Structure 1
Amino acid sequence: MTKDHLDAAPSDAQKPLLLLVGSGGQVWREYMLRAMATRYRLHLLAPEPPTWQAPYIVAHSSVNTLDVEAMIQVAKGSAESFAGALTYEETRVESAAALATALGLRTSPVEAVRACRDKFAGRELMKAAGVPQAESIAVADFAEARQAAERIGYPVVVKPRALSASNGVMLAPDADSLEAAYQDAGSIWFDEVPTYERSILVEEYLDGPEISVEAVCRDGVVTALFVARKRLGYAPGFEEVGHLVEAADPLLSDPELLKVLQDSHTALGLTDTVTHTELRLTSTGPRIVEINARVGGDRIPYLGGLATGVEIGLVAADLAAGAVPETTASWERAAAVRFLYPEHDLTVDSIDVDRSALPAEVDDVQLLVGPGRELRLPPKDHVRCRYALVVAVGSNEQECEAVLGRAAAAVTVHGTPLT
């Protein structure tokens, strides 16, 4: 483990110093660091030396960010004290909470954060508190999955207990489709994901559109920042192919939704964190799909910043440092992201972007893969088969969708079909 010296410019010397546990990928999280660095100095804890992160940080320590004791030693060995510690990486939320707790910094209890990572443990806490959600049964094998599905009643959703981004989440409309859904849910796993004896969940299917809510929870009080309307595809999976955020979304003032949001956070024991909550707007009202003790992925918080002016990187940093975050919108617009998928499985040869054909309302275009990458459509693979993303800004949903359609047509993938 090595630690680099602080290298803050004199004009930045008075900025509070934060510990940032991990940084994520540049395409997905650079906007977070850019916002944080306007008000805070950042000491990055990460195993690898910084590359793209370098302009936004003042120090780096090479450390295993799942090793809480090692991170505590880094913090205690610093010549300066830290105002806060935070992360936005799903696999680091628990260790970051443990680090902040050990240093006496503002955070949610480790047990509450762990209940967000373990979707079944979270379900049990919310069930005990009467929070409206999907019925859920954790199973260890297919025989138990079949019994659970019969008890809940078809259709059911089969999902991994600890993954994110809808990876491995499959719909089983009937008994004949259950085994394939179970196999798909169990075939996807990633390093650093907790393992459980009962690692698959069989859940009640919730009708209605799916949304997510970015929120800040301070001293246990939840404030909704913005709502994202999900675009789903590739049934029977639930691939998230796009998102839309409108600053004036009426759900932000819907008393029933806000009550469910507050009650769910209270049931889990969350006190101080930014959260990404997924819900279904069912025929019987909003019901919880899951809660994550971090900001959302898929550029959703970035869309929120474009639509409202609320920089969630600053919200998270202010919260960690003990300040009261600014959550009031600066403007009212709409912003949307669309992820581009190949028409069939292929190995990428090249991707062309006709920038002359991009509308002025396009905020960003990012290529997500390079030549040689194999792209296999869901359910063979999931978010890894996206080859690009496009982001648009407009005054409403219709404007954004029109811009995204024209932008998507300007990005072309060329490749060799896979057999």
Structure 2
Amino acid sequence: MTLLLIGAGSQAYRGYLLRSVAEEYDVHLLADRAPTWEAPFLRGHTVVDTADVTALREAARALSCEGVLTWDDTRVVQTARLAEALGLPGAGPEAALCCRDKRATREALARAGVPQAGSVLVTSLPQARAAAARVGYPLVLKPRALNASTGVVKVESADALARAFRLARAATAPGAVEVAPGDVLVEEYLDGPEISVDAVWHEGRMLPAFVARKECGFPPYFEETGHLVDGRDPLLSDPRVLETVQAAHTAVGFTTGWTHTELRLTADGPKVVEINARIGGDRIPDIGRLALGVDAARTAAQVACGRRPKLTIRHHQVAAVRFLYPEADCIAREVRLEPGALPGSVDSAVAIALPGQELRLPPAGHVSSRYALITVAAESAQQCRADLDKASQAVRLEVLRTL
């Protein structure tokens, strides 16, 4: 069975997904560059501008495929348009765009009465000041259509608004084809723990796969420094959480595919932060696999090929991922790993930074600031965190010079 994959992403963050899909499908990659690390997992590839739906369609017509899939947030709309053009299963372009465009998401949820943050779209600093007066402090500024918390900043007072607005408005992300570049959302700050729900959808029916609890750092920015999935987390069957996720997807018209929904658990109940029309990032599906045995990539591929998804829970553990950052802006010389010093619970320890790479902490850098990642699986969250602390000491960043 041949599956078209639009972009593979980086090996550190997405390699395990491609490896898993390739065990069951013949994968043909449509990407902006020739494959490197991806090559052993591919049946074929075509170099094409993945932002150009017409070019994607022409490349795909020469192939016989059963489904189209992407886990690249910047290509979910193009992938949905391609699937529609080829008559293959998918979310549909309107639903994909409604998830990608955070303003459209807010409008759809508001019409349906789904709990979420209050939000005002602005294009200038005077408009931002007026919106802030309505929303109240603290508040959050975020670009309209970027990902990975790029340009997202918490603003505590009016004195900090101008600088934060300039940062949010100027934010960019590699490969992003922006919706209304320069548009910024002024949003109510939702106080409470942040979680994500990864779920697969088939004909409007939701199968929740796993819940991740997010760890953030570098305030006032929302840098995701780690995630934890508990195989016995009660939130995975919490009626208010699941009802909110279901209502949000009904509101945006999403019925088919895999999504990663972010929520805040406020005093008034769960509220939607955003919906991402793709598999979760930051190795969350990997720790979901470690915690529950769920294979997100294969399940998403099943739905993309028109098959009814199956989510099989094989065990219940706790798993976590942690990202390592330098102490200050620097240029990396080398990342050294000491395998013998890693706890037995470590599943992977991956060097991310390359020799000579600039590492800049938020707000100048976000996920690009990381020099390594570590995943562990244990019997408790406490043990996971303790083992991550120990493992972090076995991964050392050698700095060429500070910046």
Q: TM-score, normalised by structure 2?
A: 0.97
Quote how far apart the aligned CAs of 1:158 are: 0.6
Q: Cα deviations across residues 169-217 of structure 1 (Å, max 9, x unaligned)? A: 1111111111121122123213433141661110000010000111111
Quote how far apart the aligned CAs of 1:137 are: 0.7
Task: Give the stretch that moved more between structures: 29-38 or 153-162.
Answer: 29-38
Aligned to 1:149: 132
Q: Secondary structure at the match of 1:45?
A: strand
Q: Cα deviations across residues 202-240 of structure 1 (Å, max 9, x unaligned)? A: 000001000011111111122210000000111111110
Aligned to 2:80: 97
Aligned to 2:376: 392
Is 2:38 the counterpart of 1:50? no
Contact kept, 8 Å, 2:292 with 2:315, in 1: the verdict is yes
Quote how far apart the aligned CAs of 1:334 are: 1.0
Aligned to 2:58: 73
1:9-408 → structure 2 map (5 Å cutoff): 16-78=1-63, 81-190=64-173, 191-196=175-180, 199-408=183-392
Contact kept, 8 Å, 1:348 with 1:375, in 2: the verdict is yes
Q: Secondary structure at the match of 2:133?
A: helix
Q: Secondary structure at the match of 2:229?
A: strand
Contact kept, 8 Å, 1:314 with 1:325, in 2: the verdict is no
Q: Secondary structure at the match of 1:415?
A: strand
In the alignment, the residues of structure 1 paired with residue 207 and residue 225 of structure 2 have an alpha-carbon distance, to the nearest angstrom, of 27
Which residue identity does 1:296 align to in structure 2?
Answer: G
Contact kept, 8 Å, 1:46 with 1:61, in 2: the verdict is yes
Aligned residues: 402
In the alignment, the residues of structure 2 paired with residue 139 and residue 365 of structure 1 have an alpha-carbon distance, to the nearest angstrom, of 42
Quote how far apart the aligned CAs of 1:54 are: 1.6
Which residue identity does 1:35 align to in structure 2?
Answer: S
User: Using a 3 Å threshold, how does the CA distance of structure 1 residues 229 and 197 change in structure 2: closer, same or farther?
Assistant: closer
Task: Give the stretch that moved more between structures: 42-51 or 158-167.
Answer: 42-51
In the alignment, the residues of structure 1 paired with residue 53 and residue 161 of structure 2 have an alpha-carbon distance, to the nearest angstrom, of 40
User: Using a 3 Å threshold, how does the CA distance of structure 1 residues 271 and 57 change in structure 2: closer, same or farther?
Assistant: same
In the alignment, the residues of structure 2 paired with residue 17 and residue 412 of structure 1 have an alpha-carbon distance, to the nearest angstrom, of 41
Contact kept, 8 Å, 1:140 with 1:197, in 2: the verdict is no
Q: Secondary structure at the match of 1:98?
A: helix
In the alignment, the residues of structure 2 paired with residue 49 and residue 258 of structure 1 have an alpha-carbon distance, to the nearest angstrom, of 41
In the alignment, the residues of structure 1 paired with residue 401 and residue 188 of structure 2 have an alpha-carbon distance, to the nearest angstrom, of 37
Contact kept, 8 Å, 1:23 with 1:46, in 2: the verdict is yes
Which residue identity does 1:360 align to in structure 2?
Answer: G
In the alignment, the residues of structure 2 paired with residue 198 and residue 288 of structure 1 have an alpha-carbon distance, to the nearest angstrom, of 23
In the alignment, the residues of structure 2 paired with residue 87 and residue 349 of structure 1 have an alpha-carbon distance, to the nearest angstrom, of 33
Quote how far apart the aligned CAs of 1:75 are: 2.4
CA RMSD of aligned residues (A): 1.2
Which residue identity does 1:378 align to in structure 2?
Answer: P
In the alignment, the residues of structure 2 paired with residue 109 and residue 181 of structure 1 have an alpha-carbon distance, to the nearest angstrom, of 35
In the alignment, the residues of structure 1 paired with residue 398 and residue 181 of structure 2 have an alpha-carbon distance, to the nearest angstrom, of 43
User: Using a 3 Å threshold, how does the CA distance of structure 1 residues 349 and 74 change in structure 2: closer, same or farther?
Assistant: closer
Contact kept, 8 Å, 2:169 with 2:182, in 1: the verdict is no
Quote how far apart the aligned CAs of 1:351 are: 2.1
Contact kept, 8 Å, 1:106 with 1:272, in 2: the verdict is yes
* Percentage identity across paired residues of the two chains: 49
In the alignment, the residues of structure 2 paired with residue 239 and residue 52 of structure 1 have an alpha-carbon distance, to the nearest angstrom, of 27
Q: Secondary structure at the match of 2:197?
A: strand
Contact kept, 8 Å, 2:202 with 2:309, in 1: the verdict is no
Which residue identity does 1:182 align to in structure 2?
Answer: F
Q: Secondary structure at the match of 2:166?
A: helix
In the alignment, the residues of structure 2 paired with residue 26 and residue 281 of structure 1 have an alpha-carbon distance, to the nearest angstrom, of 32
Structure 2: 5+ residue stretches without partners: none
In the alignment, the residues of structure 2 paired with residue 259 and residue 381 of structure 1 have an alpha-carbon distance, to the nearest angstrom, of 36
Q: Secondary structure at the match of 2:8?
A: coil
Which residue identity does 2:191 align to in structure 1?
Answer: D
In the alignment, the residues of structure 2 paired with residue 364 and residue 36 of structure 1 have an alpha-carbon distance, to the nearest angstrom, of 19
Structure 1: 5+ residue stretches without partners: 1-15
Quote how far apart the aligned CAs of 1:380 are: 2.4
Q: Cα deviations across residues 239-265 of structure 1 (Å, max 9, x unaligned)? A: 100000111110011001100000000
